[in-house]
Amino acid sequence: MEDILDLYESYDPDPKKPVICVDERPFQLLEDVIQPIPMKKGSPERQDYHYKRKGVCCIFIAFDPRGWRYIEVRERRTKEDYAEFMKNVAEKYPEAEIIRVVQDNLNTHTYGSFYERFEPEEARKLCKKFEFHYTPKKASWLNMAEIEFSALSKQCLDRRIRDIDILRDEIKAWTEDRNAKRVKVQWRFTTKDARDKLRRHYSNVKN
């Protein structure tokens, strides 16, 4: 926890050492069985509770505290998908010597994923490009990408979306608008705050 909080607190927007927060979550594609009744004056849109499942996909997000985010919608959540996503992220930072990554400790979030997808030479380049910082178990709230996902869910994914291509278009429009506005996360929780407010957890570690 302190490793990540120190990273946020000492963050300097150096293009050679950027910090990004990476996360992913499944999304269920749903189609209306009965067409919704459109909104009209004095009456909100009415939607029937029946729906048809159209499959599940996965949304990958990389959030830069400087107010930039990159999102991909993929059909699966595998080590190969993670590796390809991270390679695409790396290409967004051509000037970076090292990219510091905050992410959850999932089984796909490892350097080994690069070797499962790419040839050893390319995998090694990616390993040297990224520096991983993992959130503790049950503390994914330390990842700023969680806040971005919350905004995405409320502003873009708050309705049934039946097709993965429609989902990609919707998220692309949302991302471009948010990037144009340079929307940032105002992170205020520091290492000092953690030591004060979570003192009992430090006692547990000592014991």
pLDDT digits (tens, 9 = 90+) for 52-100: 878 999 999 999 999 999 999 999 999 999 999 999 999 999 999 999 9
| Distance separating alpha carbons of residues 22 and 59, to the nearest angstrom | 11
Long-range contacts of 191-195 (CB under 8 A, 24+ apart): 191/2, 191/5, 191/6, 191/9, 194/1, 194/2, 194/5
Residues 155-194: tens digit of each pLDDT: 999 888 899 999 999 999 999 999 999 999 989 999 999 9
Mean pLDDT rounded to a whole number for the chain: 90
Whole-number pLDDT of residue 36: 65
What is the distance between the alpha carbons of residues 174 and 183, in angstroms, rounded to a whole number?
Answer: 12
Of 149, 110, 154, 62, the closest CA to residue 72 belongs to 62
Instruction: Name all domains of the chain by residue range, CATH numbers in brackets.
Output: 2-39+46-206 (3.30.420.10)
Amino acid at 161: I
Say if residue 51's pLDDT is above 70. Answer: no
pTM, two decimals, is 0.87
Tokens of 133: 């910082």
Question: 201 falls in which pLDDT band (50, 70, 90)?
Answer: confident
- Per-residue confidence (pLDDT) for residue 32, from 0 to 100: 62
